[in-house]
Amino acid sequence: MIIMDIKLDNFLAFNNFHLNLSYPKKIVRSSIESENLQDRENFRYKKVNILMGGNSTGKTAIGRMLTEIFNSISKKTYKSLIDYINDKSKCATFTIDFVLAEKDKKSGYKLYRVYTKILAAGEKTSNDGDILTLVESVEVGEHDKYETCAKRLSDVIAKREGVEKPHYAEELQKITMPTCSFMFTGENLMGEELPGNFEKILEHTLRCLDPAILKVKKLDGADKAYIVSMANRDLIIRENEAIEGDLLSSGAKAGMGIAYILSAIKAKMYSSYYCDEKFSNVHSDIEKAFLSLMISSLGENSQLFFTTHNLSILDLDLPKHSYTFLKKDVTDDEQPIKCISASQYLKKNTQSLRNAVENDLFSVAPSLDLVYEMEEA
């Protein structure tokens, strides 16, 4: 599954929010391999998505919304989405485009669009429900671009909207969603069997994050518990928490979550991964190294979302379209959170993304006025 486009309205802090994950022109000698569907050279998608922005600009919220949307599609229920509606006196909508490989064809794909509208409290559709969902799909031809397929979907949806009122669950039956498709910050692995490479990756990760750690091995007879050996004592950890004592550094405490998502990427367990600020307490050079490893480990038809505050990530040799900046303006009720793509502003390879951010070309720098006002407090 590859996510191509997401629109959110009245969910969490998102109003008229739009994030597009296609790009129009192939990058010559790109550092990222295969930024297109396999056997579909013209169907391009952003394989690596670095999401940056100030605090509370929606970086984590996007991942949460994608998780809930895909859960609602696979489980054929929308109940959990109601908790994410910001103003229940108004309707809430989302539209998402994603690609699935067709099981009955060796190299066939379909682009799906799911449009869902949850009505305001007290409103009902003609079938006495409080939700309207329309699902359509088109086959991705050998020479198709995302834009041409999306236009065909828009034409079909426009003809149905306002005319048909299908039942939510019945409409979602049109989608055969893979059980393993989207991974959010490694949480999926907490309830599943870990890949065979996990123990080795966990040991290398923890030892990298904390040189005092000498060895990591699985605790016999315990589920997802590990013995972390240091010079003077051993420590038992499970699901990223120390069972006894608290000797792990802040960076090492994030190690199990980092190992979860890295091992899943290397084992090709999912197609889309969302790594949300797992490196807040990790040295910037280590974060860059792990991100580079994640990118190089991605397979065909896979996708990575990576949120960070670390400006050193801007120095990586990645296409400019890989970077999206989130900007929040609480005075703008129509669209409080906006997506700004670096490639919209920087057209030449010689233009420095790092300089653009440091000079606040995208107007996404956080306001420090309240900090300075405390001088007089």
Positive or negative torsion for Cα 42, 43, 44, 47: negative
Q: Is 376 left (phi over 0), alpha (psi -120 to 50) or beta?
A: alpha
**DSSP states along 61-117:** HHHHHHHHHHHHHHHT--HHHHTTBS-TTS-EEEEEEEEEE-TTSTT-EEEEEEEEE
Q: Domain map of the chain by residue range? A: 1-181+271-366, 192-268
Residues 180/269, Cβ–Cβ less than 8 Å: yes
Q: What is the pLDDT along the chain (377 residues), one digit of tens a residue?
A: 999 999 999 999 999 999 999 998 888 778 898 899 999 999 999 999 999 998 889 999 999 999 999 999 988 888 889 999 999 899 999 999 999 987 655 568 999 999 999 988 766 554 446 888 999 999 999 999 999 999 999 999 988 877 767 888 889 999 876 655 899 987 766 667 788 889 999 999 999 999 989 999 998 887 788 888 988 888 888 765 555 556 777 878 888 889 999 999 999 999 999 999 899 989 999 999 999 999 999 999 999 999 999 999 999 999 999 999 999 998 898 999 999 999 988 888 788 999 999 999 998 888 888 898 898 87
Q: Supply the pLDDT for residue 107.
A: 60
Tell whether domain 1-181+271-366 is in CATH 3.40.50: yes
* One-letter amino acid of 329: D
Residues 329/9, Cβ–Cβ less than 8 Å: no
Tell me the pTM.
Answer: 0.92
Q: Supply the pLDDT for residue 128.
A: 45
Tokens of residue 37, six digits = 């569907």
Q: Supply the pLDDT for residue 104.
A: 57
Instruction: Give the whole-angstrom CA distance, residue 80 versus residue 84.
Output: 8
Residues 113/137, Cβ–Cβ less than 8 Å: yes
Our CA angle for 21, 8, 162, nearest 5°, is 110
Instruction: Residue 3: count other Cβ atoms within 10 Å of its Cβ.
Output: 24
